[in-house]
């Protein structure tokens, strides 16, 4: 089915699949206890990273869905590839790992992880959120994703294209999976 999709949509799906593979590798062989343990007081555990990503994906999707629905109803079909504009590219670059000193921001309140999420539940929730993102992308691939805008759910007054939003999600996931790998490795070194 992916072969029938335009290359830019296939690329986004490939990015989401790579994120999923990385998350699966991250939790493979990781005990519930170790996955739920932060490496230091006030820092995030692997489970918190995954919990944050699952919540962020769902908040972003809830912002993307109404404009996509309106675009579908008004027949705003694909005119160009689903690529972000220059401002979107800059924002996406700021999310890529490793975080730069200037791009380290506190997570907005509505997507902060729960105080002590279980690893298995957080992982399953993240996997489910990735499936929801893939479904959204595949069902809206025929729309003008680069031309339809949505309000950023975290920065009032800032609007991005749906294409930018869809590129933000895997970049954000790569950042926090990078963080989670660092946590896992630190904890495993400590246990030796």
**Paired strand residues for 160:** 150
Tally of domains in the chain: 1
What number of CA atoms fall less than 13 Å from residue 181's CA on the CB side? 14
Q: What is the pLDDT of residue 109?
A: 86
CA dihedral 76, 73, 91, 122 (to 10 degrees): -140
Question: What per-residue confidence (pLDDT) applies to 106?
Answer: 79
Cis peptide before 34 (omega within 30 of 0): no
CATH of the domain at 180: 1.20.120.450
Residue 183: half-sphere exposure toward Cβ, Cα within 13 Å: 26
Give the Cα separation of 62 and 165 in Å (integer).
11
User: 3-class secondary structure for the chain?
Assistant: CHHHCCHHHHHHHHHHHHHHHHHHHHHCCCCHHHHCCCCCCCCCCHHHHHHHHHHHHHHHHHHHHHHHHHHHHHCCECCCCCCCCHHHHHHHHHHCCCCCHHHCCCCCHHHCCCCCCCHHHHHHHHHHHHHHHHHHHHHHCCECCCCCEEECCCCCCCEEEHHHHHHHHHHHHHHHHHHHHHHHHHHHHHHC
The per-residue pLDDT for 1 is 52
For residue 155, what pLDDT is reported? Answer: 87
pLDDT along the chain (192 residues), means of 10: 85 98 98 95 96 97 98 97 95 89 75 94 98 98 97 93 98 97 94 77
- Supply the pLDDT for residue 2: 64
Domain that holds residue 100: 2-191
């Amino acid at each position: 089915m992916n072969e029938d999709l335009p290359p830019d949509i296939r690329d986004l799906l490939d990015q989401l699949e790579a994120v999923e593979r990385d998350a699966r590798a991250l939790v493979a062989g990781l005990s519930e206890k170790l996955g739920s343990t932060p490496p230091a007081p006030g820092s995030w555990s692997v489970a918190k990273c995954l919990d944050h990503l699952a919540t962020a994906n769902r908040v972003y999707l809830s912002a993307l869905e109404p404009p996509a629905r309106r675009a579908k109803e008004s027949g705003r079909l694909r005119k160009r590839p689903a690529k972000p504009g220059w401002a979107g590219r800059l924002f996406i670059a700021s999310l890529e790992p490793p975080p730069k000193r200037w791009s380290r921001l506190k997570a907005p309140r509505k997507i902060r992880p729960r105080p002590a999420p279980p690893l298995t539940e957080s992982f399953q929730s993240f996997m489910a959120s990735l499936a929801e993102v893939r479904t959204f992308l595949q069902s809206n691939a025929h729309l003008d994703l680069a031309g339809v805008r949505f309000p950023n759910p975290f920065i009032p007054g800032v609007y991005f294209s749906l294409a930018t939003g869809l590129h933000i999600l895997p970049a954000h996931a790569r950042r926090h999976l990078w963080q989670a790998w660092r946590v896992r490795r630190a904890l495993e070194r400590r246990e030796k």
